[in-house]
């Protein structure tokens, strides 16, 4: 992480690169939480990226305290909301409301890249994400 120097108002602003944070692969794909309470001291939500190779999925889950904004930068995917499949293509975004079960699947033949944001933060990290289907083989919660 890089800390920007300068005036007192900007001395605590931190810039975070995708290479600065480890990939989380527990629920599928390559998920990286860039801007969060742990990385930059965020207090209202967090932002991350997701890469899904063809055939990869992020297993179904819900957020009992947060809305999730998902923006497809490149590629395409199928977003399952409460069991209903919906296409999500490049340069398209969607808001997943609080408590809605969702699963993201790359059903195409090219890698897909997404940016996501969740807000507000849950009272504690373990309350922020509820798995509603088994995690991929070898994964643990």
Give mean pLDDT, residues 76-82: 98
For strands 84-89 and 76-81, give the pairing.
Answer: antiparallel
**pLDDT value at 78 more than 50:** yes
Q: What tens digit of pLDDT does each residue of 6-53 get?
A: 555 555 899 999 999 999 999 999 999 999 999 999 999 999 999 999
Cis peptide before 51 (omega within 30 of 0): no
Q: What tens digit of pLDDT does each residue of 53-75 get?
A: 999 999 999 999 999 999 999 99
In the chain, pLDDT over 70 holds for what percent of residues?
89
Amino acid 3: pLDDT: 47
Domains and CATH numbers, the chain: 18-131 (2.60.120.10)
Exposure string of 3-42, with b = 16+ CB inside 10 Å and e = fewer, is eeeeeeeeeeeeebeeeebeeeebbbbbbbbbbbeebbee
Look at residues 25, 50, 38 and name the one whose alpha carbon lies nearest to residue 140: 25
Amino acid 136: pLDDT: 75
Amino acid 141: pLDDT: 44
pTM of this prediction exceeds 0.85: yes
């Amino acid at each position: 992480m890089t800390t920007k120097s300068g005036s007192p108002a900007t001395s605590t602003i931190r810039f975070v690169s995708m290479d600065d944070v480890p990939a989380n692969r527990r629920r599928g794909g390559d998920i990286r939480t860039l801007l969060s309470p742990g990385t930059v001291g965020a207090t209202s939500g967090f932002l991350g990226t997701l890469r899904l190779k063809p055939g990869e999925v992020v297993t179904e889950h819900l957020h009992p305290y947060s809305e999730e904004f998902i923006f497809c930068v490149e590629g395409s995917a199928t977003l399952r909301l409460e069991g209903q499949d919906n296409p999500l293509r490049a340069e398209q975004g969607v808001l997943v409301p609080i408590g809605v079960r969702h699963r993201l699947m790359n059903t195409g033949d090219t890698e897909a890249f997404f940016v996501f944001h969740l807000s507000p933060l849950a009272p504690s990290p373990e309350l922020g994400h509820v798995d509603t289907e088994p995690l991929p083989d070898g994964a643990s919660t």
